[in-house]
Structure 1
Amino acid sequence: MKPEETSPRTKKYVRAVGPRLRVLLFSVFVLFALLGANSAYLSSITFLEWFKGETYQNYFYQFMFLGHLVLGLLIFLPVIFFGIFHIKNAWNRPNKRAASVGYGLFAISLVLLFSGLALMRVEGFEIKNPELRAVMYWAHVITPFLAVWLYILHRLAGPKIKWKAGVSWAAAVGVVVVGMVALHTQDPRKWNVVGPKEGVKYFEPSLARTASGKFIPADTLMMDKYCQECHPDVYEGWFHSVHHFSSFNNEPYFFSISETRKKMLERDGNVKASRWCAGCHDPVPFFSGAFDDPDFDIRKHPTAHAGITCTVCHAITHVNSTKGNADYTIEE
């Protein structure tokens, strides 16, 4: 009796991207799309700073940078797990070209992920060597372009690419990034700023001046409490210093300038000559525009007791000369 002929078992077909893996792939696509938009914005600001030689980073930029770190950490494991399981399902497929490109794509993705991780500054884990950081930085900059190129090659050897969705996303991101960069080039401090009618001559006979030739809001120059939050010891030293008591909160100075302003008002009909003292002693009322008012209450006005504040010293951008009284430039 002949033994029954048995047919060899056919291996169960496993899709390269099954239903569960498709969910993981979708999450990778979403995170990569968000990271792409975020990276386009960050790199545009970096390029703008390099091109213009100015700083354009602000609070929004810092939040976007934080978002870049968060999105990078969120996409880390999904990319690795998807790559491992996708290779496991498709390594023995007959389409060797797609498989080879897929291996390269996964390798580049790992370089992208780990270079980003290496650039993070975490206490206890930080690459400080500038040459090594430069290598990691450029690897992190270049690999996204390589990843996109390899992904296109990978998909060209497989299912049809949905170009319309990708182009629409790129166009939308481009419009938003261009708009954000345009906003970054604007300086709100220069919008609707009231300037002295006399222009630069407003500051004479003091040689001090603002960078724009316009007034600086008093609140901007009186931020000592804000500085105190991080530097309480420095604030305490300043509070009891002659800098703090340089203005009308100093009785000898109060007596001297009140008499000067009184005599100048009688002689000239204005108090402009007292600007000579204000450039050093009264920068807050002087640069905010209150000082020239003959009715300026040098006893009770809030700016009269500000003295030389933290902001005043730290906002000086240039010492023009040593030839005269307060020959410096201050910027908001």
Structure 2
Amino acid sequence: MAKVGSVSTPAPVVTPRLRKLLYLVLALVALLFANAAYLGAVTFLEWWTGHSHQNYFYQYMFLGHLALGLLLILPYLVFGLLHMRAARHRRKRRAVRIGYLLFGAGVGTLLTGLLLTRMGGFDLRHPVARQSIYWAHIALPLAAAYLYWLHRLAGTKIKWKIGVAYGATLAVALLAMVWMHLEDPRAWFAKRPDSPDYFQPSLASTESGDFIPGHKLMNDAYCKKCHADVHAAWSDSVHHFSSFNNPAYLASIVETREKAMERTGSVQASRWCAGCHDPVPFFSGEFSDPDYDLVNHPTASAGITCTVCHAISHVNSVRGNADYKIQEPLHYPFAFSKNPFLSALSDQLIKANPTFHKQTFLKPFHKTEEFCSVCHKVHLPREVTDYRDFLRGQNHYDAYLTSGVSGHGSRSFYYPPQAKTNCNQCHMPF
């Protein structure tokens, strides 16, 4: 107790030094609330529309959420414990009791957040447990905000001007986040083909009409870190050796490009092949260079990479000839970093928010036979033959449909006990 004259006054429960810590806690909480409001709004929008609205900026905000939460742990615990020790004997017992509940709600928020990040050796995967902790992580900070209001009502007088400024800061931060959410960094430095007909006579095209940098489609080592078994199967597959790393195809494409140059002065006719066989140099723009090195260029041996198939965003039809659209995939921050710490941080984001990864790289049509039809059914157009508008090439898609294996072929002599609903069940069972 401190004495002023003959009157005893209680020592302040928030000393000047502790007040600085309080301001730090409140600042971090303000940023977290603005950040959480943005993340929650995107999540609600996804639930409402049934479509993914997570983007590159969202991942940085998610990373910021994790960072702010981790930064908050120590100052929150220190302030809370010191504040409770100083206030435990105060006469305003209601304020003290609510303060205990408030501290507990804050600790619960931090603890559930740590559990959801799947950090260290604790990897929470059980769907029911994870969902329960997720909703607790949402409910606890809302309860904490309400308890803080009650705590202040029961304690010292609320300084409403500070509260209004606090709310205004949150609103400005939210508006800034909305503006950044509308930006797409993939478009900032994108290069566009000189002609809108660049991709023809292949039916493939990019969603934006821009080129896709080759390295964005070749990061197979990134996939290998978590999908080593699938990567091993792909490494020896015909998909991997679909391009100029296949001697038979190399000889064919060399002749095609030579004949096209003789006939039209351009290698454009060979793009018909590239939509399926050489997607990396095709979509990055190198393929159309007459001097493109078919053997030594970094993209020449890429083949059909993991990312190429999983970055396809739409199957336009089942007529084949690469009739699909592809888009540059969105990755987690630091996915391509060579720095071990940043690379590990990117991996941690996948664990903490795997939904974004799944929505980006595994779409419903990937499990259908129509997806395979885009390249396993072809016809030669006039741009290639120079005399006929249509010549049928290989057609595995229709052969599958008319077979007994698919369950659709009335003329088939063979029917398995159970039909195969897509090509992958036999050809890519892993």
Normalised to the residue count of structure 2, the TM-score between the two structures is 0.63
Residue 59 of structure 1 and its aligned partner are, at CA, apart by 3.8
Residue 259 of structure 1 and its aligned partner are, at CA, apart by 0.7
Percent of aligned pairs with the same amino acid:
39
**Structure richer in helix, relative to its length:** 1
1:39 aligns with 2:36: no
Deviations 1:263-319 (A, max 9, x none): 122222322221221111000111111222223222332222221122212212222
Comparing 133-142 with 307-316, greater Cα deviation is found at 133-142
CA 1:78/1:230 → structure 2, altered by over 3 Å: closer, same or farther?
same
- Asked whether the 8 Å contact 1:244–1:306 carries over to 2, the reply is yes
Comparing 42-51 with 227-236, greater Cα deviation is found at 227-236
What SS does structure 2 have at the residue aligned with 1:299?
Answer: coil
Alignment correspondent of 2:183: 186
Alignment correspondent of 1:285: 281
Alignment correspondent of 1:58: 59
Greater length-normalized contact order (CA 8 Å, ≥ 6 residues apart): 1
The correspondence of residues 52-91 of structure 1 with structure 2, limited to 5 A, is 53-56=52-55, 57-59=58-60, 61-72=62-73, 74-88=75-89, 90-91=90-91
Alignment correspondent of 1:114: 108
Comparing 289-298 with 52-61, greater Cα deviation is found at 52-61
2:94 to 88, 96, 100: 100
Comparing 242-251 with 127-136, greater Cα deviation is found at 127-136
Alignment correspondent of 1:149: 149
- Asked whether the 8 Å contact 1:119–1:136 carries over to 2, the reply is no
Q: Which runs of 4+ in 1 moved over 6 A?
A: none
2 CA distance for matches of 1:23 and 1:13? Answer: 22
CA 1:22/1:110 → structure 2, altered by over 3 Å: closer, same or farther?
farther
Larger Rg: 1
Letter in 2 for 1:111: A
What SS does structure 2 have at the residue aligned with 1:120?
Answer: helix
- Asked whether the 8 Å contact 1:279–1:286 carries over to 2, the reply is yes
What SS does structure 2 have at the residue aligned with 1:111?
Answer: helix
2 CA distance for matches of 1:226 and 1:132? Answer: 31
Residue 182 of structure 1 and its aligned partner are, at CA, apart by 1.8
CA 1:234/1:256 → structure 2, altered by over 3 Å: closer, same or farther?
same
Residue 15 of structure 1 and its aligned partner are, at CA, apart by 1.3
1:133 aligns with 2:133: yes
1 CA distance for matches of 2:7 and 2:226? Answer: 65
Cα RMSD of the aligned pairs, angstroms, is 3.1
Deviations 1:202-259 (A, max 9, x none): 2222222211122111121122244445555544443333222211121111111111
Unaligned ranges ≥5, structure 2: 1-5, 47-51, 329-430
1 CA distance for matches of 2:19 and 2:326? Answer: 54
The correspondence of residues 1-332 of structure 1 with structure 2, limited to 5 A, is 13=8, 15=10, 17=12, 23-24=17-18, 26-51=20-45, 53-56=52-55, 57-59=58-60, 61-72=62-73, 74-88=75-89, 90-91=90-91, 98-121=92-115, 123=121, 128-129=128-129, 132-133=132-133, 135-155=135-155, 158=156, 160-199=157-196, 201-232=197-228, 234-332=230-328
2 CA distance for matches of 1:271 and 1:307? Answer: 19
What SS does structure 1 have at the residue aligned with 2:137?
Answer: helix
CA 1:224/1:139 → structure 2, altered by over 3 Å: closer, same or farther?
closer
Aligned residues between the structures: 310
- Asked whether the 8 Å contact 1:209–1:328 carries over to 2, the reply is yes
